[in-house]
Structure 1
């Protein structure tokens, strides 16, 4: 018979998948939606979407921190309701400003759900199971991003509003799953080997390890968070559109296949004891992948091999960054710490802007040289954050 924790975990993983499918079916078409329905110029669309994504991340920080003060189950349900409300509102309003506001609301709600989900897992799972579930959740997220965009493509043929209504449907199912199958968790209690820390955002401001890990996450996200967009921009700058289309058509499926096939197998092997060397291996894979991109030119085989190696780095970093935060977060402040780390997602949001600046001002190959430097800095920041902390057993007090 399945335990209550197993059932709760299964319900949350399924909910994570369904919400990501809804987001994946709509986010890629927001630019088309704003252009077709409101006649917005391309530059205006880019500014609007960047603002919406950034506002979503920043506001989710505050709401995620507050999650540690309330029942996490109810908090997730509330974020899903806001998520659904945004998708219902966008097709019904007739003002581009309101569309951007509701799109910001959607991104904020999704970020809050993702943050509280990680906090819930950190509070309820045994230490040996956390890496496995973090990796499994990351696999589900990638499956959602693999399924969502093609569904959106099919639906937009019938109506530009259809992807939003599909997102409403896929987002409603998690409401039932979480309400029925997920146990309530309010504030985690410190165990016998953990130091009880009174909930206070000021604890995070004095935790230098958190600051180093957040900076590391920012730099890592700058390299891997929007790599598909980065590759597309690079190929359009150095090759003709026909080859760019072929290369992107190869890179994205290889990335998705490696993630879906290997993420759980790789991520489940991460432990506090081997985290430092494995994150070093992940950094090396990023460097080798970026080096392959730099010399690939029009060699599709080299593009495929390079993205496979690059993706292995992604497989290690994704659960590894969560485990770093889980290891240092005091009992009762897991969601708060994960919220602070979510600021690192801004690196991925800035990647297209940074890529565009580099490609228009420097030689094209320098893009991957600069990203290589960024991932090395991410690794050094990680080491700095780990310095002085024990990585054999959790030490959950702030420094």
Structure 2
């Protein structure tokens, strides 16, 4: 991977750097939000879940307009603006004494992060030919997971001094990237035809709704993200119901470490092999591994079985993420690349709903029934993915088979 990075132009490496640094900043605070919000504002666990989940959903929905801006404005100015909002959001969260300001800051952080992520992915399309994009998507996802793996440890270190300090550290990382990109960023970076966009936002939205390939893939992404978007949350809920806190903590720590290590070690080597050819088969393999992993979770009685099930589940994740990117990259017109990636970002809605739906299932049904429900979400998502790939093959048979 390092050899590949050395071959990339500085502009591309700066975009990849955003994925690492800003994800690291986000991951420093993310694991401690529940504890911080609960203690600082005196909210119940249900209220905390509503606050955190709703800010993620609102940020994802608003990022649709962010995708429109990616197609309309200079990427350089947009990334700097979003990075400034990202940094200000963490500073606001650090000083916020009221829940209203804190809530607004979380929305701003999620929105800014989503807009930068869209701009980065759209930038790949501008800077690289089609046959080289699967590799850079895999590198991006690897760097993102490095950020999520390292961030919680940094957050734990500073949180031991004061629970609000992780927000200040995250703001510092955001400010640092802002300065680096301000000095060395490519001022001419833009998606193809950017700055020529004259179509109003709502009219562009109608164009996207008429692309049934995108609609199918977006809905499929929302359904499948219920399963893999926040798996640590619903596994924690399941273990709290079925075991004692000590066992739950030991198992969750092991499966999270397994997931992070496997993604970091295997994502690049496996992900770069996922190309536009036979994309439907790659998706089928990845989604099947999700179902096998869920079956392993449902049957797990020892830590070893939990780790093996997590390993299988993670391979599915390693396959599905770049395959999703490659599909959107295949069907997105150059003039609407940002909007197409913004539509894909709506899968975060499914990720936010996952713990809520699993909580309801655990409260009303036998605990292992939760995994049956999650498997049905994967199957429904697979049907929609398959329909999207089929429609794309009929429209452009040379690109997706």
TM-score, normalised relative to structure 2: 0.92
Aligned to 1:82: 85
Runs of 4+ in structure 1 over 4 Å off: 2-5, 196-199
Aligned to 1:128: 131
Residue 201 in 1 paired to residue 205 in 2? yes
Deviations 1:97-127 (A, max 9, x none): 1111111111111111111111111222111
Aligned to 1:366: 369
Is 1:123–1:334's contact at 8 Å kept on the other side of the alignment?
no
Flag structure 2 segments of 5+ consecutive residues without an equivalent.
none
Deviations 1:159-195 (A, max 9, x none): 22211111111112222332344333234159xxxxx
* Cα distance in 2 between the residues matched to 1:38 and 1:187: 42
* Cα distance in 1 between the residues matched to 2:73 and 2:377: 37
Other structure's SS at 2:38 match: helix
Which of 114, 123, 134 lines up with 1:111 in the alignment? Answer: 114
Is 1:232–1:248's contact at 8 Å kept on the other side of the alignment?
yes
Residue 47 in 1 paired to residue 41 in 2? no
Which of 234, 241, 249 lines up with 1:237 in the alignment? Answer: 241
Map 1:188-227 to 2 at 5 A: 188-189=192-193, 200-227=204-231
| Deviation for aligned residue 1:362 | 1.4
Is 2:139–2:268's contact at 8 Å kept on the other side of the alignment?
yes
Which of 379, 390, 395 lines up with 1:387 in the alignment? Answer: 390
Aligned to 2:266: 262
Change in Cα spacing, 1:108 to 1:40, as seen in structure 2 (3 Å) is same
Residue 357 in 1 paired to residue 356 in 2? no
Which of 275, 281, 287 lines up with 1:277 in the alignment? Answer: 281
Other structure's SS at 1:289 match: helix
Deviations 1:76-98 (A, max 9, x none): 11100000011112222321111
Is 2:191–2:337's contact at 8 Å kept on the other side of the alignment?
no
Is 1:26–1:149's contact at 8 Å kept on the other side of the alignment?
yes
| Deviation for aligned residue 1:35 | 2.9
Deviations 1:34-82 (A, max 9, x none): 2333333333322222222221111112122222001112111110000
Change in Cα spacing, 1:26 to 1:138, as seen in structure 2 (3 Å) is same
| Deviation for aligned residue 1:331 | 1.4
Other structure's SS at 2:335 match: coil
| Deviation for aligned residue 1:310 | 0.5
Higher mean alpha-carbon deviation, 65-74 vs 196-205, is at 196-205
Other structure's SS at 1:389 match: helix
| Deviation for aligned residue 1:282 | 0.6
Aligned to 1:160: 163
**What is the total number of aligned residue pairs between the two structures?**
389
* Cα distance in 2 between the residues matched to 1:124 and 1:202: 28
Flag structure 1 segments of 5+ consecutive residues without an equivalent.
191-195
Residue 32 in 1 paired to residue 73 in 2? no
Deviations 1:302-338 (A, max 9, x none): 1111100110000011111111111111111111101
Is 1:272–1:392's contact at 8 Å kept on the other side of the alignment?
no
Is 1:22–1:168's contact at 8 Å kept on the other side of the alignment?
yes
| Deviation for aligned residue 1:272 | 1.0
* Cα distance in 1 between the residues matched to 2:180 and 2:135: 21
Residue 330 in 1 paired to residue 356 in 2? no
| Deviation for aligned residue 1:389 | 2.3
Residue 141 in 1 paired to residue 169 in 2? no
| Deviation for aligned residue 1:369 | 1.4
Aligned to 1:341: 344
| Deviation for aligned residue 1:371 | 1.2
* Cα distance in 2 between the residues matched to 1:89 and 1:198: 35
| Deviation for aligned residue 1:243 | 1.8
Is 1:272–1:393's contact at 8 Å kept on the other side of the alignment?
no
